[in-house]
A and B are shown apart, each in its own frame.
Chain A
């Protein structure tokens, strides 16, 4: 745009003067010519003016050709639209809010699903990454997707479907420090693993082919988060050497933020030769195994190929395979996000898509309602000479304002929603690599639908109005008894659907709330307050035998007990409310046909005291029994009542078959019962208790143990003190995940809490949208009926008659919605019942509460416009419009 055009912006008065004198010159010139041709001056002026027509109209047309005047017109339209919206503030706020809610909620939820389910990983060609499952056909819980090194070698050699594979082995890594040790989650990775994942290092370098050679100098790479948190983001750490599990390793690189393979802190290269002999990990024998399908190979083809291979492997290693099994290949993303969580997300996704539709439906209803009431305004303006395109442009600007407001607020809602959802996502439900952020495509899509609704429903009335027969509109045709006809039916059915959907969402939320409350009030049977818990992995090379393990724990537990602020301390094989290892059992002198099972726990003598689990009969282990690794046992109440009924269990002998089949088996695994304790939750919060049996930890060498310390004050404050004692017992050992036991328990509640939270938010949004919907439709239909009410009131109807009439109509719509909603809720609750606990899928309290809530909110939404209708005096109602 050149300078002259710009200067015209502030030279408008001069331009106006020029325009006027140009036109005047024309007219005067014409008059002069007419006079010259012999007309009288009066007649000459009359003819010239007649020919020239409306000077003002012409001026306006000339003005419109100039760009700065176009801008002017736009600003005028803009101000006009703004004034119109401000005058009808309720309409503007409600439509902008409805639109923003719909856009915000759907974008946030779609983004979460997109990031967690569709693109959870940063890895190369992640959609083709798969895992292999071996499923025992006889026992549902027996499944594995980890393989031994020889199996992996065979699969790599024999398969025809994989482009590449990667194996990883978790290990506890202790980094030796000067005064304390750092415990890290390590991952040994098979050759080429990091190239397979296809992500270059952020700092330094990634692992290279040479690093995986058996004789290569020992190196490792760090996870970004660990580098940040435990290495103080020190760039000079790269190139330095750290002692990890007794081996001096050089840090060669830091991986990018989203790289979190296996959820580890660091990755150590491992050759296939070394992998065969690596026995240090938690699962010493089995390796994590991920493969990438060749392009064009389907999951089914891969499953078929792997079935052949695993059948051959089963013949080679019969002990590693169940009698009847099925081999399947599953996408890696699906394997990482639990099925149940995936289902919940899809459920919410559906709900949210419907919310978007409801929101747009509301806005459409509002716009249509407003347009109908403005029908006459348009007709008048068209009659006064407003051109069709001016009218349309004015409405377009108004729509633009609404859309802009809704879009801006919607983006804000979406942004906040994504932030809140991503920070409240419970650990372990999504992959560690997943970063939840707003998805621009989804946002654009939601915006397009929302803004499109506004433009379509904002313009349709304008087109109709500008085309309409003036006479008809001005004559006020089509007024009178309304609320009938196909339009009204359509609007009402939208409301019925909205109410039904909202009720379904609320009902689901209600069930989740009830279920969560039940779950968080489950009597645990043990005291978890004031208990510090930690895992202590012991280096397996130095702690092979039970005696060696006892030399670590014996002195450590004694030392901890003598600390000020510590009541008793104990070690055990796992934390409550989860048990350890199920075993088939036999009881001496009893024969039975069915399989008998109990879960096995190893512990020190003060375990029951630390967790405040009371003894019902007998006693705990004696210190000597623990020291001498005697085969004595304590059983729980469930065990006692299930297998001993009325007999005295003390002194009975129990055979734990598991202990004879594990590596380093216990010879002659018969244990004598010395005590019975009360039941404490041992199979998760949701499930009934298992029969459980404890025996001294000195009987069997497990590589990892739980440490439980009962403290007098806040256990979190004791972490450092206890850590120092652990270090003092053995400088090569460190605690893993030390935290108060209550915190561990809280994690168990996190996922249900998250589900509850999501469903509550969305049902609230749903309720808000439905309120807006009911209100807008009722307000519209009552405003259409103002004339009718006037006649009725003039004929003697009282205000309460009118009120009743409106409410009755609203109630009819509400009731239809509520009954459909209840039917859908009951159908749906059968699907979500698997995610509920301690509450029936047809919970009466929830039904009553939800129906009441929806009815009250719906009636209030009807009552406001109904009230307004009754307040109009009959006279003004009849004059109306």
Chain B
């Protein structure tokens, strides 16, 4: 396994997707683009796990999906955040911040 690009934990990927979609309705390709744009230097979102993740989140009703026409005039599946998804995102962000605070505290003080 190459080490320069980190694997994404499933839960983390879910959180990132929710966060990206929170900005407004997006289709799968756009989500992938956004994720890669933002995180380019740290990790690559494998295409292979994006779509199963989107379907999983839709199954859990954290995302809602709708077929709409894009700006280029093509039919695409757009995902939006549901109120359930919003709650989940808030909870996960909170949890993540706590964890990262704790981890960075340890990293700083354990030196």
Interface residues of chain A, those whose CB is within 8 Å of chain B, are: 18, 21-23, 25-26, 29-30, 51-53, 57-58, 61-62, 64-67
Closest Cβ–Cβ distance, residue A489 to chain B (whole Å):
44
- Measured in the bound complex, the distance between the Cα atoms of B51 and A57 in whole Å is 11
8 interchain pairs, CB-CB under 8 A: A18-B77, A22-B76, A25-B76, A26-B28, A26-B51, A29-B29, A57-B48, A65-B55
- Measured in the bound complex, the distance between the Cα atoms of B100 and A660 in whole Å is 106
Q: Which of B27, B51, B59 counts the most chain A CB atoms within 10 A?
A: B51
In the complex, chain B residues 17-62 whose Cβ is within 8 Å of any chain A Cβ: 27-29, 32, 47-48, 51-52, 55-56, 59
Chain B residue at minimal CB-CB distance from A28: B74
- Whether A51 and B47, one on each chain, are in contact in the complex, defined by CB atoms closer than 8 angstroms, is yes
Give the residue of B27, B32, B47, B55 whose beta carbon is less than 8 angstroms from that of A66: B55
Closest Cβ–Cβ distance, residue A260 to chain B (whole Å):
61
- Whether B29 and A26, one on each chain, are in contact in the complex, defined by CB atoms closer than 8 angstroms, is yes
Q: Does B4 contact A (CB under 8 A)?
A: no
**Which residues of A lie under 8 Å from residue B97 when comparing CB positions?**
none
Closest Cβ–Cβ distance, residue B100 to chain A (whole Å):
28
**Which residues of B lie under 8 Å from residue A65 when comparing CB positions?**
52, 55-56, 59
**Range class of the B interface residue count:** 10 to 19
Closest Cβ–Cβ distance, residue A390 to chain B (whole Å):
16
- Measured in the bound complex, the distance between the Cα atoms of B75 and A62 in whole Å is 20
Question: Besides A25-B75, A58-B52, 16 other CB < 8 A contacts?
Answer: A18-B67, A21-B75, A25-B27, A25-B29, A26-B28, A26-B32, A26-B47, A29-B29, A30-B29, A51-B47, A61-B51, A62-B51, A62-B52, A66-B55, A66-B59, A67-B59
Chain B residue at minimal CB-CB distance from A21: B75
- Measured in the bound complex, the distance between the Cα atoms of B42 and A279 in whole Å is 104
**Which residues of B lie under 8 Å from residue A64 when comparing CB positions?**
52
**Which residues of B lie under 8 Å from residue A66 when comparing CB positions?**
55, 59
With A30-B29, A53-B47: A22-B52 Cβ-Cβ less than 8 Å: no
**Which residues of B lie under 8 Å from residue A53 when comparing CB positions?**
47-48
- Measured in the bound complex, the distance between the Cα atoms of B56 and A663 in whole Å is 94
- Measured in the bound complex, the distance between the Cα atoms of B46 and A53 in whole Å is 10
**Which residues of B lie under 8 Å from residue A67 when comparing CB positions?**
59
Closest Cβ–Cβ distance, residue B49 to chain A (whole Å):
8
- Measured in the bound complex, the distance between the Cα atoms of B93 and A793 in whole Å is 72
**Which residues of A lie under 8 Å from residue B55 when comparing CB positions?**
62, 65-66
Closest Cβ–Cβ distance, residue A209 to chain B (whole Å):
67
Chain A residue at minimal CB-CB distance from B52: A61
Closest Cβ–Cβ distance, residue B95 to chain A (whole Å):
23
- Whether B52 and A25, one on each chain, are in contact in the complex, defined by CB atoms closer than 8 angstroms, is no
**Which residues of B lie under 8 Å from residue A61 when comparing CB positions?**
48, 51-52
Closest Cβ–Cβ distance, residue A774 to chain B (whole Å):
51
Closest Cβ–Cβ distance, residue A200 to chain B (whole Å):
55
- Whether A25 and B28, one on each chain, are in contact in the complex, defined by CB atoms closer than 8 angstroms, is yes
- Measured in the bound complex, the distance between the Cα atoms of B63 and A142 in whole Å is 88
Closest 6 CB pairs of A and B: A61-B52, A29-B29, A65-B55, A65-B56, A62-B55, A26-B29
**Which residues of A lie under 8 Å from residue B75 when comparing CB positions?**
21, 25
Closest Cβ–Cβ distance, residue B71 to chain A (whole Å):
12
With A25-B74, A65-B56: A58-B29 Cβ-Cβ less than 8 Å: no
Chain A residue at minimal CB-CB distance from B27: A25
**Which residues of A lie under 8 Å from residue B47 when comparing CB positions?**
26, 51-53, 58
Q: Which of B28, B55, B67, B76 counts the most chain A CB atoms within 10 A?
A: B55
- Measured in the bound complex, the distance between the Cα atoms of B74 and A26 in whole Å is 11
Q: Which of A22, A51, A62 counts the most chain B CB atoms within 10 A?
A: A22
- Measured in the bound complex, the distance between the Cα atoms of B51 and A52 in whole Å is 11
- Measured in the bound complex, the distance between the Cα atoms of B32 and A557 in whole Å is 111
- Measured in the bound complex, the distance between the Cα atoms of B27 and A21 in whole Å is 12
Q: Which of B29, B48, B67 counts the most chain A CB atoms within 10 A?
A: B29
Q: Which of A18, A29, A58 counts the most chain B CB atoms within 10 A?
A: A29
- Measured in the bound complex, the distance between the Cα atoms of B56 and A66 in whole Å is 7
Q: Which of B28, B47, B74, B75 counts the most chain A CB atoms within 10 A?
A: B47
Closest Cβ–Cβ distance, residue B36 to chain A (whole Å):
11
- Measured in the bound complex, the distance between the Cα atoms of B48 and A29 in whole Å is 16
- Measured in the bound complex, the distance between the Cα atoms of B52 and A459 in whole Å is 29
Chain A residue at minimal CB-CB distance from B31: A26
Chain A residue at minimal CB-CB distance from B77: A22
- Measured in the bound complex, the distance between the Cα atoms of B29 and A26 in whole Å is 5
Closest Cβ–Cβ distance, residue A523 to chain B (whole Å):
84
**Which residues of A lie under 8 Å from residue B48 when comparing CB positions?**
53, 57-58, 61
- Measured in the bound complex, the distance between the Cα atoms of B75 and A394 in whole Å is 39
- Measured in the bound complex, the distance between the Cα atoms of B54 and A62 in whole Å is 8
Closest Cβ–Cβ distance, residue B64 to chain A (whole Å):
11
Chain B residue at minimal CB-CB distance from A60: B52
Closest Cβ–Cβ distance, residue A465 to chain B (whole Å):
26
- Measured in the bound complex, the distance between the Cα atoms of B77 and A631 in whole Å is 117
- Measured in the bound complex, the distance between the Cα atoms of B27 and A65 in whole Å is 18
**Which residues of B lie under 8 Å from residue A57 when comparing CB positions?**
48
- Measured in the bound complex, the distance between the Cα atoms of B47 and A51 in whole Å is 7
Chain A residue at minimal CB-CB distance from B58: A65
In the complex, chain B residues 61-111 whose Cβ is within 8 Å of any chain A Cβ: 67, 74-77
- Measured in the bound complex, the distance between the Cα atoms of B47 and A725 in whole Å is 103
- Measured in the bound complex, the distance between the Cα atoms of B60 and A66 in whole Å is 9
Closest Cβ–Cβ distance, residue B73 to chain A (whole Å):
12
**Which residues of A lie under 8 Å from residue B74 when comparing CB positions?**
25
- Measured in the bound complex, the distance between the Cα atoms of B52 and A550 in whole Å is 103
Closest Cβ–Cβ distance, residue A501 to chain B (whole Å):
53
**Which residues of A lie under 8 Å from residue B59 when comparing CB positions?**
65-67
Chain A residue at minimal CB-CB distance from B74: A25
**Which residues of B lie under 8 Å from residue A52 when comparing CB positions?**
47
